């Protein structure tokens, strides 16, 4: 059974001035939230969404003339490690009553931003940079292709404008959300902080505040953006948008702590448990809807990365 965590004095402030204070058990009280879903169901749900996003992207980026441009873009769009952010965008849209098609362009754009960031991250900038995947193209091609994927993501969003659906304002808002989350105050900031840590002599023992910061900026804010964008495009209320934004922030930070900079670091599991409870608390208000699928993203016995 999952447990939801509620603040005894209102909503808990996760990313306050002190990591130790914000995750202190004494600052919160627990009450149960039952999530009824078999082990097979969430895998099927997320896999179905991811397959749809992948199909949409492959149709949007076929290998065509000029091949020197579109072949590396097609390859790098899917070469990055898996992220659950695009699927969360779709799930959030469906949770607020929207149709999957309404958020498909946004989910694809989020995937492209993630892929572009990863391509830049893997460039051999220093002797200590260690590419995690085999290089198919030279660093010059990967740098320029990564640069090109970002505006192409916004192009996909622009192409999704549909006056019949009355969505221009929503799409414009989503563009601003993605630009903010993936820019110098979001994902890029996390990448920079992680790079500084990787170049230090203390890389093997990262302090808790650095783990939390990098995980929040890289994975957390990308997931927060994705969830908010899905809710915006699905016609969610402002309250629903903000709750799903918070859920995405917690869920993404968990991903970063378990599979990113926080992997194999001491004390991470306890921090993750508190984040998980806070995430589940955010979706409690959707209790009259199907929250089982979206809640499964942070369940301890399941891993989607």
Domain ranges in the chain?
A: 37-298
**What is the spatial distance between Cα 196 and Cα 202, in angstroms, rounded to a whole number?**
10
**What is the spatial distance between Cα 305 and Cα 297, in angstroms, rounded to a whole number?**
10
221-233 and 187-199 helices cross at what angle (nearest 10)? 170
- Backbone dihedral angles phi then psi of residue 117, each to the nearest 5 degrees: -65, -40
- What is the pLDDT, as a whole number, of residue 54? 95
Asked if the peptide bond before residue 66 counts as cis, ω within 30 degrees of 0, the response is yes
- What is the pLDDT, as a whole number, of residue 125? 62
CA 4 to centroid of chain Cα atoms: 21
Return the ∠ at Cα 296 (arms to 293 and 297), rounded to 5°: 110
**Token pair of 53, please?**
């996003």
Contact (CB, 8 A) for 190 and 216: yes
**What is the spatial distance between Cα 255 and Cα 286, in angstroms, rounded to a whole number?**
23
**Token pair of 99, please?**
């149709």
- What is the pLDDT, as a whole number, of residue 57? 95
Where would I find the H helices in 235-267? 238-259
- What is the pLDDT, as a whole number, of residue 5? 33
pLDDT by position in tens, the chain (length 305): 333 333 333 334 344 333 333 343 333 332 323 333 444 566 789 999 999 999 999 999 999 899 888 899 999 999 888 999 999 999 999 999 999 999 999 999 999 999 999 998 887 765 445 555 567 888 888 889 989 999 999 999 999 988 777 789 999 999 999 999 999 989 999 999 988 887 776 555 678 888 899 999 999 999 999 999 999 999 999 999 999 999 999 999 999 988 888 777 777 888 899 999 999 999 998 866 678 889 999 986 555 55
**Token pair of 184, please?**
């110098």
CA distances (Å), 121 to each of 53, 146, 149, 175, 245, in order? Answer: 23, 10, 14, 23, 25
Query: For the chain, what percentages of helix, strand and coil (3-state, to nearest 5) are there?
Result: 65, 5, 30
Contact (CB, 8 A) for 133 and 122: yes
What dihedral angle (degrees, nearest 10) is formed by the CA atoms of 149, 153, 156, 158? Answer: -120
Contact (CB, 8 A) for 16 and 22: yes
Q: What SS3 state is found at 137?
A: coil
- What is the pLDDT, as a whole number, of residue 16? 39
**Token pair of 288, please?**
């009259």
CATH architecture label of 37-298: Orthogonal Bundle (1.10)
Return the ∠ at Cα 294 (arms to 286 and 48), rounded to 5°: 135
């Amino acid at each position: 059974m999952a447990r939801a965590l509620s603040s005894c004095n209102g909503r808990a402030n996760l990313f306050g001035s002190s990591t130790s204070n914000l995750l202190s058990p004494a600052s919160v009280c627990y009450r149960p939230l039952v999530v009824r879903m078999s082990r097979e169901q969430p895998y099927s749900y997320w896999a179905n969404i991811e397959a749809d996003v992948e199909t949409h992207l492959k149709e949007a980026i076929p290998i065509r003339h000029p091949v020197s441009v579109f072949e590396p873009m097609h390859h790098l769009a899917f070469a990055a490690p898996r992220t659950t952010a695009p699927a969360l965008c779709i799930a959030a849209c469906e949770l607020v009553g929207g149709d999957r098609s309404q958020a498909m362009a946004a989910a694809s754009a989020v995937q492209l931003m993630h892929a572009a960031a990863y391509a830049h991250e893997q460039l051999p900038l220093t002797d200590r940079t260690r590419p995690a995947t085999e290089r198919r193209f030279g660093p010059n091609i990967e740098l320029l292709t990564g640069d090109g994927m970002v505006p192409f993501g916004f192009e996909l969003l622009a192409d999704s404008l549909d006056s019949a659906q009355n969505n221009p304002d929503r799409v414009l808002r989503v563009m601003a959300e993605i630009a903010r989350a993936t820019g110098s105050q979001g994902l890029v900031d996390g990448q920079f902080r992680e790079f500084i840590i990787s170049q230090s002599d203390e890389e093997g023992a990262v302090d808790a505040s650095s783990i939390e910061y990098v995980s929040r900026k890289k994975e957390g804010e990308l997931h927060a953006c994705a969830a908010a964008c899905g809710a915006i495009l699905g016609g969610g209320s402002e309250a629903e948008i903000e709750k799903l934004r918070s859920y995405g922030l917690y869920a993404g930070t968990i991903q970063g702590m378990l599979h990113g900079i926080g992997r194999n670091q001491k004390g991470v599991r306890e921090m993750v448990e508190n984040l998980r409870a806070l995430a589940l608390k955010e979706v409690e208000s959707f209790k009259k809807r199907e929250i089982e699928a979206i809640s499964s993203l942070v369940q301890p016995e399941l891993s989607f990365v």
